[in-house]
Amino acid sequence: MGSSAATTATFCATLVDEWLHCGVRHAVVSPGSRSTPIALEIANRQEIEMHIFHDERSAAFAALGIAKASGVPAILVCSSGTAAVEFHPAVVEAHHSETPILICTADRPAELQGVGAPQTIDQQNLYGVAIRKFVNAEVANDSESHTWRHIARDLFATSLGDVQGPVHLNLRFREPLMGFATNLPPRDANDAVITKKVALPSSRSLRKLNKALESENGLIIAGPENYRVESILRLAETLGWPIIADPRSGTRVPNKLVVAGADAILRDEDFSKRLRPDVVLRFGTLPASKVVNSWLSGSGANQVVITTTPSLTDPDRQCSLHIVSDIDELCAGLVSVHSKESVRKRSLSWLDKWVAAEDSAQKAINAALADEPGLTEPGVARAIYALVPEASHLVVSSSMPIRDVEWFGAPRNGLRVHANRGANGIDGVVSTAVGVALATRQPTTLLIGDIALLHDVNGLINLASRKIDLRIVVIDNNGGGIFSFLPQAQTLDEAKFEKIFGTPHDANIKMLAQAHQINTHELTNISDLAEVLSQRGPWLARVVTDRHENVKVHERINQMVASNLR
């Protein structure tokens, strides 16, 4: 009994076998010597798709994308030292967005710690509070083989626990690193299937909620969460309340109750006052729109938030009641309570105002964009949201792309929208999209700005050979376009603003893509965009815009909407 290369291989094979049993089907591996034992055991299992990423930061965001699209954590593997540090940005995003990842960092054994051994750093609790659970596994020993399956199973269960998120297994390996696995320890026959359990709301909370839903002037905010679209629609129909539908929620579908143009509608001060609700029922996180969030904060409405986890997004401290529940079950119960004849006879004037405003806003946006020569950033976002095929995925970068999709994406069916809105960073977006495409093997479109693309250009490595349908549309305005909307753009002189915030890069994005053997396109009109979007990826299409003109385009659209509303 003891430690050997065979013991290490058996330990790693047991971890992989147990994770396979739990349902893991993807592993993202960054090459390195010290991680050889776990990497080889993953490679030995044909049931797992093994994806190789040269850059650890890119690898971690790809694992994030896989979990976002599939709901199942991927195994994420790297060597020791700063390789493990490169995972940190994606770990932070996974923490804030409650996305599960099984992180496996290789490490040197205890005798090589603190003595200047190469590629050796302190990896204990490396990711701090961003991790749901940390386990430091010393060099494997036969005497502890009865614990190996429990380690793997416990980490998997924790990643999908009450608050989903990343878990970290630090694996200390001693040379020699290559061995052959022997018989694996048996699986406990009494192990139950790991399922996520959501707590039931208290009777007191339900009474308060049902009392709030008696209001006629109520509003539903549908954010990204774990629920069926039909549950939210049926509740809204029962209550006679409109739904402000975040594109990431899946509820932005063609339905008279659904409001997609809330940002533009609520920019009109007089109109926004007339639409102030008495009660707001929010599912999931807040919209990206600052206009909508400021209006909600200042509305004075009784705000109730429903989530499936204890986490609450409430930066303005406006939530009066937070309920943690299975949303589908909760909605079904609320429908049964509030579908009485007296409720169905409510006045529809409140809902009619929203329906009319949404119809007016969508017509105004169409008219305003029709008047714009060439491609604009709002026009591209609106067109992509409408034109990508059904049963496909749209990944949207932070900064302007997520806002343009939220503001201008019109209701449609058959589209899942993803965005890294946990920490709202622009790093790792290309790799996240690659992960979504790898997990689903479905058409995946990425709408991204030039700065975000350059932040994660290593996500393009090996893209041409991954056999995925990834279609990348880059808005290239030679800098940070979102800063042109901020007060800094009006208060600073142009030279200083450009140096600090405009940040022109002058990179040739098409040549970068071509260096990775990726087909490229230059788009100048909607017809070109529609034609390219119909083609299977991978490809990259570039749309050139002007940052200063982009601000004016947004202003013209908002003015058109306000004019129509009045």
Could you report the per-residue pLDDT of 453-485, keeping only the tens digit for each? Answer: 999 999 999 999 999 999 999 999 988 777 777
Res. 326: pLDDT tops 50: yes
Residue 179 forms part of a structural domain = no
- Average pLDDT for 230-244: 96
Backbone φ and ψ for 200, nearest 5 degrees, come out as -85, 140
Residue 196 forms part of a structural domain = no
Residue 163 forms part of a structural domain = yes
- Average pLDDT for 275-283: 96
Cα–Cα distance for residue pair 188/467, rounded to 1 Å? 38
Q: How many domains does the chain have?
A: 3
| 541 and 461 co-located in one domain | yes
Whether the CA torsion 338, 343, 348, 353 is positive or negative: it is: negative
230 vs 345, more confident: 230
| 307 and 429 co-located in one domain | no
**Domain-terminating residue out of 172, 194, 211:** 172
| 433 and 515 co-located in one domain | yes
Q: Residue 501: which pLDDT band, with cuts at 50, 70 and 90?
A: confident
| 411 and 440 co-located in one domain | yes
Cα–Cα distance for residue pair 515/395, rounded to 1 Å? 23
Backbone φ and ψ for 468, nearest 5 degrees, come out as -120, 155
Residue 212 forms part of a structural domain = yes
| 116 and 215 co-located in one domain | no
| 165 and 276 co-located in one domain | no
Q: Residue 529: which pLDDT band, with cuts at 50, 70 and 90?
A: very high
Across the chain, mean pLDDT equals 93
| 482 and 402 co-located in one domain | yes
Residue 197 forms part of a structural domain = no
Q: Which residue has the tokens 């001060």?
A: 269
Q: Residue 540: which pLDDT band, with cuts at 50, 70 and 90?
A: very high
pLDDT of residue 482: 75
Buried-state track 505-522, b at ≥16 Cβ within 10 A, e below 16: eeeebbebbeebebebbe
Helix (H, G, I), strand (E, B) or coil at 542: strand
Q: Tell me which residue of 331, 133, 321 sits closest to 226, measured CA to CA.
A: 331
| 339 and 376 co-located in one domain | no
- Average pLDDT for 496-502: 76
pLDDT of residue 347: 66
Residue 287 forms part of a structural domain = yes
pLDDT of residue 346: 63
| Domain CATH number, residue 380 | 3.40.50.970
Res. 344: pLDDT tops 90: no
| 452 and 343 co-located in one domain | no
pLDDT of residue 195: 67
| 427 and 473 co-located in one domain | yes
Residue 366 forms part of a structural domain = no
Other beta carbons within 10 angstroms of residue 528's beta carbon come to 15
pLDDT of residue 361: 96
| 451 and 313 co-located in one domain | no
Q: Residue 342: which pLDDT band, with cuts at 50, 70 and 90?
A: very low
- Average pLDDT for 69-86: 97
Domain that holds residue 257: 203-356
Res. 410: pLDDT tops 70: yes
Amino acid type, 192: A
| 333 and 397 co-located in one domain | no
Amino acid type, 353: K
Q: Residue 196: which pLDDT band, with cuts at 50, 70 and 90?
A: low
Res. 555: pLDDT tops 80: yes
Buried-state track 218-255, b at ≥16 Cβ within 10 A, e below 16: bbbbbbbbbbebebbbbbbbbbbbbbbbbbbbbbbbee
Res. 492: pLDDT tops 80: no
> Which percentage of the chain shows pLDDT scores above 90?
83
Residue 548's alpha-carbon distances to 328, 480, 481, 493, 544, in angstroms, are 45, 11, 8, 14, 13
501 vs 543, more confident: 543
Other beta carbons within 10 angstroms of residue 71's beta carbon come to 15
| Domain CATH number, residue 307 | 3.40.50.1220
Res. 306: pLDDT tops 60: yes
pLDDT digits (tens, 9 = 90+) for 309-320: 999 998 999 999
Q: Tell me which residue of 302, 249, 245 sits closest to 276, measured CA to CA.
A: 302
Residue 193 forms part of a structural domain = no
Q: Tell me which residue of 171, 157, 307 sits closest to 226, measured CA to CA.
A: 307
pTM above 0.85, yes or no: yes
